[in-house]
A and B are shown apart, each in its own frame.
Chain A
């Protein structure tokens, strides 16, 4: 099922002559784990802002074309309505947390939707279980570590049962072990809930093994969108200024020396698999 549909979309921020997004045609389906990948300033955050109507409704600017979420035009449907379909977690979750404690934080969105008390309780139990934050329910957001805040922000959004969850550099402020835990947790959520998760991230080593699709964006244009296997073996991925994982560059070097002919691996697991079945 098609969840997000960009139709020949262009956007420039007010006061800027250059378009931040150009000729965007992109169809995103349900039940996918997608990496949004591009250099700094390539338009990743602008693209994300289009997916819940912040562009063009909140950010003043000029646009052409159309973006549809779940079949509805994002320039017409109120952002509040879109936010039940698309949840966004930004890099610094501290800015997103407002309630007195974690339980209230998760309940907040549900109360705004007019949900019944019992239903809210049930939903909270479900999302704290999947994000493993049962022990934090009574804590105030400022008492939490960066990783815990990130989990609470994800739980609050999951409670609204969005069809799409988008995370803009979610691990940037976390230490590597916590970053790995969050990414693995997101993969688990994606599989269990069968939702589409889109992650914009510079640290590809953690994410590349787990995603199924990759969007490559450069200078405000979509360079490529497709299955992970196709994208990482294509020229665009190899040419871009992105932090390709070490395992990928090792095999790239073997390929350059004509010692390896199969697909380039996205993970150590794949690499070992290829090596043990050489022919």
Chain B
């Protein structure tokens, strides 16, 4: 990975809001093509501000951002939105057209497609997201889940290379979370780079390989998820909680269970307990 050029490179980035709140302080990071990366930290740590700088919604006070090796400083939001698609927490903030169909058309406008290609893309995306039956309906009359889907479709239809999700699992049940996991798997197969802001420790632990932790506008950790999220000091600093797997292993240790040092994932714990119980049962039978 080190030999590759990063798709996003952030150098000494700072941002201070007009009311003098320092939201980002000297942030440096590299993200590589087709990576899946999580950004975590307590509320107000600067996570959302950081992603807003990626498509020009916020202009940094200091520092620079490079996407595909090019500095983004003088690029318009419309140009950047072809590269970076951000799916915000609340879909109603990004929907405003009169119908579902118009919403997708509006989103595709900046790509300057001919009529045939435009209609083809609209049809395809509505089909892919199972939104065909709502084609003429106002986005205001969709249920919460459907409007989330439309917000997502309106970003994905532009086929941006980088997808950013702000708290995608919030308020979602297991079925919706599974659908989201399938979506990111598919997008990664197409070579997309995916950034996820989340508070959901269990989700991050299971599905995201690399985590960046932020607090007070700064990055305090950047590394493999199993290392970052199992570190009690970092977890405490960022108002997260340890994954249940880690909490469980720690309690097993306290209770005198042996050889726990390499247990990290759920499956490793299951294997360990299977062996332990089989051994105990044989021992009891032996008596």
Residues of A within 8 A of B (CB): 38-41, 91, 145-146, 169, 172-178, 180, 202, 205, 240-247, 249-250, 253-254, 257, 259-260, 268-269, 271-272, 275-276, 278-279
**Given pairs A180-B241, A244-B174, 5 additional interface contacts (CB within 8 A):** A39-B174, A41-B145, A242-B173, A254-B270, A259-B274
Residue of B nearest to A91 (CB): B171
A259–B282 Cα distance when bound, in Å, is: 12
Q: Is B245 an interface residue (CB 8 A)?
A: yes
Nearest A residue (CB) for B242: A176
B231 contacts partner chain A, Cβ-Cβ < 8 Å: no
Smallest CB–CB gap between A169 and chain B, Å?
Answer: 6
Tell me the minimal C-beta distance from B53 to chain A in angstroms: 22
Contact A172 B170 (CB under 8 A): yes
Indicate if B69 sits at the interface (CB-CB under 8 A): no
Q: In whole angstroms, how far apart are the Cα atoms of A96 and B194 in the complex?
A: 36
The one of A172, A176, A177 that contacts B171, using a Cβ cutoff of 8 Å:
A172
Given contacts A268-B247, A279-B284, are A169 and B241 in contact (CB under 8 A)?
A: no
Task: Report the separation of the CA atoms of residues A259 and B270 in the bound assembly, to the nearest whole angstrom.
Answer: 11
Q: Which 6 A-B pairs have the closest CB atoms?
A: A241-B175, A177-B239, A246-B244, A39-B173, A175-B239, A241-B174
**Majority-rule SS of B interface residues:** helix
CB-defined contacts of A254 to chain B, threshold 8 Å: 270, 273-274, 277
> B: which residues have CB within 8 A of A?
42-44, 143-145, 170-177, 199, 201-202, 238-241, 243-245, 247-248, 251-252, 255, 257, 266, 269-270, 273-274, 276-278, 280-281, 284
In angstroms, how far is the closest chain A Cβ from the Cβ of B147? Answer: 13
Residues in chain B near residue A177, CB distance under 8 A:
42, 239-241
Q: A41-B145, A145-B44, A241-B175 are in contact. Are A268 and B244 (CB under 8 A)?
A: yes
Residue in chain A with minimal CB distance to B175: A241
State in angstroms the CA–CA spacing of A34 and B177 once bound together.
Answer: 24
Closest A-chain residue to B89, C-beta based? A173
In the bound complex, do residue B173 and residue A202 qualify as a contact, i.e. CB atoms below 8 Å apart?
yes
A5 to B170, CA, bound (A): 31
Q: How far is the CA of A257 from the CA of B273 in the complex (A)?
A: 11
Query: Could you say which of B255, B276, B284 contacts A272, with CB atoms under 8 Å apart?
Result: B255
Q: Are B270 and A250 in contact (CB under 8 A)?
A: yes
CB within 8 A of A175: which of B240, B247, B255, B269?
Answer: B240
